[in-house]
Amino acid sequence: MFYEFELTVPANTAQNAPAELECLLTVGIISKVGVYMLVGTHWLCHAVITEGGYQVYPSNPDGDFASNGEPIEFEEHYTVKKGHTLFKLKGWNEDDTNEHKVRVRISVQNEEEMPPNKALNTISKFLSRMMGL
């Protein structure tokens, strides 16, 4: 599954009162994450992704994403469990004039589709057939 979310962060949005967008995901493994801000943001717009009140991305609690058009993309292996599928994209903006947009793209794979599990499933099916199970 591939998800894309976009948050508009008004000018002068404080870090202690961020703009928020709920991001509902499916159960599975987050395998890729991308965070995008347009050129002209000048590192004035910041964003974090949380789940259940805890910051998930970036991993360090005092960190945040900011850029001036450079994509922030990384591979991941984060398990999204049943009952923990509601994430929040939170953003604040130090720009006193312009609103800015934060776009997030998240790839969630079914656990069986992940490379190590896929290989194990293939081997398991092969052995079951060989043994007549």
For 77, the token pair is 């292996």
pLDDT band at 131 (very low <50, low <70, confident <90, very high): confident
Residue closest to 98 by CA, chosen among 15, 38, 48: 38
pLDDT band at 123 (very low <50, low <70, confident <90, very high): low
Burial class (CB in 10 A: 0-12, 13-18, 19+), 46: buried
Structure pTM? 0.84
Classify strands 54-57 and 72-80 as parallel, antiparallel or unpaired.
unpaired
Helix (H) or strand (E) holding 7: strand 2-9
pLDDT of 125 strictly over 80: no
pLDDT of 49 strictly over 60: yes
Domain positions in the chain: 2-130
6-20, 22-36, 38-52, 112-126, range with the lowest pLDDT: 112-126
Residue 130 pLDDT: 66
Please answer whether residues 90 and 19 qualify as being in contact, where contact means their C-beta atoms are separated by less than 8 angstroms.
yes
Which CATH number, 2.60.120, 2.160.20, 3.40.50, 1.10.150, labels domain 2-130? Answer: 2.60.120
